[in-house]
Every structure is written in C-alpha cells, then in structure tokens.
Amino acid sequence: GNSVTQMEGPVTLSEEAFLTINCTYTATGYPSLFWYVQYPGEGLQLLLKATKADDKGSNKGFEATYRKETTSFHLEKGSVQVSDSAVYFCALSDRSGGGADGLTFGKGTHLIIQP
Amino acid sequence: DAGVIQSPRHEVTEMGQEVTLRCKPISGHNSLFWYRQTMMRGLELLIYFNNNVPIDDSGMPEDRFSAKMPNASFSTLKIQPSEPRDSAVYFCASSFLQAQKLFFGSGTQLSVL
C-alpha cells in the first residue's frame, strides 16, 4: 500500500535559518504529492503540491521538488520566521486526478522557530 | 465563505456516553471526509462521502462509530458508547469531487474521561 515517511520532530531552528523537512514515499504508479501545514488550534491547509516528476511546488517561500528517482518530496525554505512554527504534513494521492479521496498523510513534523 | 465549520470545538464527556460531532462543509463541495488525529497514530481517515453517499468507511475503528450525511450541508460523526481511547482531535474536511485541495475545519478536541 501507499505510505509517507517524514522526519521525526520536533525540529527547532532559529529565525532566518534554512529549513529542510524530509519526506519520502512509497506508492504504485505516479502519485501527486502535497505539503499541508497545521497552525496551532487550526485544521490543515494546503501549502503546495506537485503532480508529476521534476515538478516544483512553491508557496509562501516554501519549495518542494518531486523526485521520482529518490521517491522524495523534501520541503525547504531559505529563511524561516517565527510565524512558520506549525506542524507540516507530507501527503500523496494515488488517484489519477489527484483526488482528495486518495490522500495518504505522513505523521507530521512539528517545527518550532525561536526568535 | 466561512470555510468548513465544526462543532463543538471542545467536548469533554464520561466513558459510556454518546458523543455527536457535527460538520458543515463548504457550500458546493461534494466530498466530505472525517479524520482523527492522535499523537501516536497521526492523521487517520475514518470515512468519506461523495455526493452524500458513504464511499469508504474502512477507517472507522469499530461499530461504536457511525457517520451520516443527510444532506449536502451537514454531516455527523457519532460515538456510542465512548471510551477513553477515543480521545483525539476529530477533523472534518471537504473538497470538490476529484479536486486535489482539501479544506479542513478547525477540529473538535474530544476528551473521554
């Protein structure tokens, strides 16, 4: 079956540091890949996505590149802010159209940014 | 649009009591999902509906759990009887059928004592 593996948290960084959160996946076929973010006390919201190999998703200074050869979708940001503190979820969809009914989530990585 | 609306935000109950969680999806969305989030197991899909019809309930843990969607603007998740191990945050989410973007509510924090 499908699975998503994320690095264990919490990840604690200082403001303006470089961020990488690792994500690898196992799936048959050609899944779509996503990063969702959950701010304290809120539900998850879509941060970025990529639907085919070598695609780069980006939003709010975050980027992730769909690497089929390494089955990875690592999240990066060049300079983090305190407001980026949240839980980040990597996910995949195995539906040909990337439908939400096929989403598999990782366990989430808690990111803490210190001023 | 107000987004996905869940109620209550917090629920504290005693073991054996019935618990009902409510969800109003975004108007026009035709897929609705119920998730459970715990520290140990992460985010688990319990059940989802397309056009008010339950499609996959394989994630529902036991017969104590049931979900309904009587119309396009309302869904409930019921636990009867509740047990301490049901304590978790329960999220409702909605989307357009076959859309990639899922919209989550703010969740219901359930504590069963």
For residue range A32-87, what is the model confidence (pLDDT) as tens digits?
A: 999 999 999 889 999 999 999 999 999 999 999 999 999 999 999 999 999 999 99
- Please give, rounded to a whole number of angstroms, the shortest distance from the CA of B55 to a CA of chain A: 9
CB pairs under 8 A between A and B: 64
Give the CA angle between residues A19, A24, A25 to the nearest 5°: 145
The mean per-residue pLDDT over the stretch A3-27 comes to 94
* Token duo for residue B107: 């969740």
Give me the residue label for tokens 């301490």.
Answer: B84
Residues of A with CB under 8 A from a CB of B: 32, 34, 36, 41-46, 49, 51, 89, 93, 95, 97-101, 103, 105-108
CB contact under 8 A, A99 and B48: no
CB of A57 closer than 8 Å to CB of A35: yes
Q: Pick the residue of A51, A101, A105, A109 with the most B CBs within 10 A to test the interface with B by mutation.
A: A101
Q: Per the omega criterion (within 30 degrees of 0), is the bond before B8 cis?
A: yes
- The predicted pLDDT at position A100 comes to 59
Select the residue of A42, A100, A105 nearest B99 (Cβ to Cβ): A100
At residue A1, the pLDDT reads: 79
User: Any idea which residue has 């394989």 for tokens?
Assistant: B58
